[in-house]
Amino acid sequence: MSGILIDESSPTPPPAAPAPERTLETGRIPRDSAGAERLRELWEAQPGWRGWLSTVDHKTIGLRYLVTAFVFLLMGGVEALIMRVQLARPDATVLTPEQYNQLFTMHGITMIFLYALPVLSGFSNYLWPLVLGARDMAFPRLNALSYWIFLFAGIFLYVSFPAGEAPNAGWFNYAPLSGLEYNPGPNIDIYALGMVLLGISTTVGSMNFVVTLMRMRAPGMSLDRMPVLVWGTLTASGGNLLAVPSVSLAFFMLWLDRRIGTHFFDVLNGGRPLLWQHLFWMFAHPWVYAVVLPAMGIVSDALPVFCRRPLVGYGAVALSTVATMVIGFVVWVHHMFATGIPALALSIFGAASMVIAIPSAVATFAWIATIWTGRPVFRTPFLFFAGFVLLFVIGGVSGVMTAAVPLDWQLTETYFVVAHLHYVLLGINVFPVIGGIYFWFPKFTGRMMSERLGKLGFWVMFSGFNLAFFPMHIAGLMGMPRRIYTYPADAGWNTVNLITSAGSFVFALGVLIFLVDLLVSLRRGRPAGDNPWDAPTLEWAVSSPPPPYNFAVVPLVRSRHPLWEGRLADPTGSVRGDAPGGDVGDHDVQMPCPCSQIDEGYLLNEGREALGTTPLDAQPDVILKMPSDSFAPFWLGLACTLLFAGLALRAWPLTGLMALACAVAIAVWLWPERALVQRDDPASRAGRAT
């Protein structure tokens, strides 16, 4: 195929004569060929600490996101358990009020901002190029930068914790209580600047996902052939690009109020405290869907594998995914129904809050229909996905209840909302995530996790979750307010709080069982083979773990389920009657992989190259010269963090020095580098098409 444009991010010396146009060839390469070994040398990171700090491999970055987010999950979980000890009995004194405020705030920040979205970014970073048939993300160095800033932002927020100066005004941080008059310490400054820093990571990561989808899909992977995981992450990324600027602006304005002397939220000087709530919830409600839609995508892609049939209603599910985020941008005021806003606004936003249940119901019925019409196999991932469906229904129904304005007025400041929040942000996120780890662990490591420990962990976790959070609905209906440090013995809430605290520890035990299974399986798990679940998507067409270059040839995609081609004409609607991964238990067998067409595609082996395709129908369009590994993302992320530390400490010399360091790191990042591969024949060098 000729006429392919060549994009050279690293210029090479001009040839003596005009270079001919590069021709894109197709062919086959066995996985153990010399060509594949050459690709490995080109794409593999350096050994040792240099490679650890400089790698831009999406798989390494994805695993780092997963591990780091789970560390934050454990930290947030420990904070929650300490709070539940405080609330287990009335008039407890385990924590002082100020300690409780800081613990409560850091728990919310950790679970919502440092775990929920980053863990899904880990899945997407690892899986996107594999399921799209690409060799890496569109901007590998930007991908590395997003991780380093996320890591450093989390450390930045937690550094103040041991010193007793952690954020203490709740994760919602309402003005004017977060203003300098009521909160003069550095607590809120750290939160404000940390969130702006974290917003940089989220924004650059979201940009990378959007461009990767638009330009890096395998030839033939049109929009109607993309996995639902891709739809979910794409929608979340688009939402983040629109929502994150709102909260970054709010936190920056708050910092200006506190340290520069502006009056954005100071009512005595013409400011508007309610402006904070508008800016914050314009971000925070779409953020709820940003941490749910990719999780729903995990379920939509992995659940059908265990039902032995394609997802029912693929088109409706993909459309509902986009519709959920679109409607999500017009429901933020339902967090503010009790603030005295006009009745017309209450009606409009109340109606929108009810309408958003429709696309969620479409996905729910699609999952149920997939299970009902398939041949379910009760492996551990399936249990987590099925449990998610139940929790999704409970969380969704309680959310629709608060869309009714009169009922919301009664419930808004009670533990009923706390219960809803945890069903949505914890149940609907954690269960798909752990199910996804069980499902893709063979791809990550080449090993299987234990079925016995997995099922035990699921039932303990599922029971503990509902034991912990369902009674919160009852506590709210009994009038227990949110955000309280303790309660009197005669309030009537003793039993429900004790049950909730006990359930929290049961849920923690289930998480501990999962972690034990994970660590043991890393060392002793059974070899998985390339496709132990007999799954249909492209990531299972390569070895487990995948090679550094992902695909020796860029594959050609002919259907939505490339590894199930030829089997979907079965009149029973089931692609296979036996269990994925063999018999139920720990004895897994390798399923045959009818994917010979995956070894046929476009040859790109003259350097670090990837194929760019057209946005809609994914036709070959451009050969992309991918950047090499670099220390620049690490140093730029570190310099940005120290710059924000200088702002928090008001150490202006450090701030200026770090601003200069950021400029130097960007210059090093963008500095042209010579081609990685010198070709023997000058006439074969890739030149720009005229």
pLDDT tens for 614-628 read 999 999 888 888 999
Residue 27 — φ and ψ, nearest 5°? Answer: 175, -170
To the nearest 10°, the Cα dihedral for 29, 32, 34, 40?
Answer: 100
Count of residues making up the chain: 690
Among the listed residues 402, 396, 458, the one whose alpha carbon sits nearest the alpha carbon of residue 424: 396
Confidence band (pLDDT; 50, 70, 90) for 478? Answer: very high
Query: In the structure encoding, which two tokens stand for residue 539, read together?
Result: 């990531």
pLDDT of residue 538: 92
Neighbours of 632 (CB within 10 A): 22
Q: What is the helix, strand, coil percentage profile of the chain, to 5? A: 60, 5, 35
| End-to-end Cα separation, the chain, in angstroms | 16
Confidence band (pLDDT; 50, 70, 90) for 674? Answer: low
Average pLDDT over residues 304-322: 94
Axis-axis angle for helices 380-401, 415-422 (nearest 10): 150
pLDDT of residue 11: 42
Confidence band (pLDDT; 50, 70, 90) for 578? Answer: low
Instruction: Please say if the pLDDT value at position 548 is more than 60.
Output: yes
Instruction: Please say if the pLDDT value at position 576 is more than 70.
Output: no
Query: In the structure encoding, which two tokens stand for residue 89, read together?
Result: 């009995």
Among the listed residues 433, 422, 366, the one whose alpha carbon sits nearest the alpha carbon of residue 399: 422
Under DSSP, the state recorded for 566 is: T
Average pLDDT over residues 458-484: 95
pLDDT of residue 599: 55
Share of the chain above pLDDT 90, in %: 71
3-state secondary structure of 6: strand
Tell me the pLDDT of the chain averaged across its residues: 87
Q: How far from 18 is each of 304, 618, 625, 684, 688, CA to CA, in Å?
A: 53, 30, 20, 11, 10
| Per-residue pLDDT tens over the stretch 5-18 | 334 344 444 444 44
To the nearest 10°, the Cα dihedral for 53, 54, 57, 59?
Answer: 0
Q: Choose the weakest-confidence range: 21-35, 567-581, 650-664.
A: 21-35
Contact 498, 89 (CB under 8 A): yes
Residue 319 — φ and ψ, nearest 5°? Answer: -65, -40
Among the listed residues 205, 112, 117, the one whose alpha carbon sits nearest the alpha carbon of residue 167: 112
| Per-residue pLDDT tens over the stretch 29-42 | 444 456 677 888 88
| Per-residue pLDDT tens over the stretch 343-358 | 998 999 999 989 999 9
Confidence band (pLDDT; 50, 70, 90) for 664? Answer: very high
Which region, left, alpha or beta, applies to residue 271 given φ > 0 means left and ψ of -120 to 50 means alpha? beta
Average pLDDT over residues 433-453: 96
Residue 611 — φ and ψ, nearest 5°? Answer: -100, 125
Secondary structure string (H, E, C) spanning 288-330 = HHHCCHHHHHHHHHHHHHHHCCCCCCHHHHHHHHHHHHHHHCC
Residue 357 — φ and ψ, nearest 5°? Answer: -70, -20
- The enclosing H or E element of 167 equals none
Query: In the structure encoding, which two tokens stand for residue 430, read together?
Result: 């954690």
Contact 334, 247 (CB under 8 A): no
What amino acid occupies position 74? Answer: L
Instruction: Please say if the pLDDT value at position 575 is more than 80.
Output: no
Which region, left, alpha or beta, applies to residue 463 given φ > 0 means left and ψ of -120 to 50 means alpha? alpha
Q: How far from 312 is each of 227, 374, 492, CA to CA, in Å?
A: 13, 10, 47
Share of the chain above pLDDT 70, in %: 87
pLDDT of residue 104: 94
Instruction: Please say if the pLDDT value at position 284 is more than 70.
Output: yes
Neighbours of 177 (CB within 10 A): 15
Contact 157, 194 (CB under 8 A): yes
pLDDT of residue 37: 78
Confidence band (pLDDT; 50, 70, 90) for 425? Answer: confident
pLDDT of residue 571: 54
Sorted by sequence, the CB contacts under 8 Å of residue 159 that are 6+ apart come out as: 190
Q: Choose the weakest-confidence range: 291-300, 320-329, 500-509, 588-597.
A: 588-597
3-state secondary structure of 511: helix
Q: Choose the weakest-confidence range: 246-255, 341-350, 384-393.
A: 341-350
Whether the bond into 20 is cis, omega within 30 of 0: no
- Exposure string of 338-364, with b = 16+ CB inside 10 Å and e = fewer, is eeeeeeeebeebbebbbebbebbebbb
d(CA 545, CA 59): 10
Average pLDDT over residues 120-124: 95
Q: For the whole model, what pTM was predicted?
A: 0.91
Neighbours of 472 (CB within 10 A): 26
d(CA 688, CA 690): 6
pLDDT of residue 681: 37
pLDDT of residue 116: 93
Average pLDDT over residues 571-595: 47
Confidence band (pLDDT; 50, 70, 90) for 477? Answer: very high
Instruction: Please say if the pLDDT value at position 276 is more than 70.
Output: yes
Query: In the structure encoding, which two tokens stand for residue 268, read together?
Result: 């005595």
- Exposure string of 481-490, with b = 16+ CB inside 10 Å and e = fewer, is ebeebebeee
Average pLDDT over residues 331-348: 90
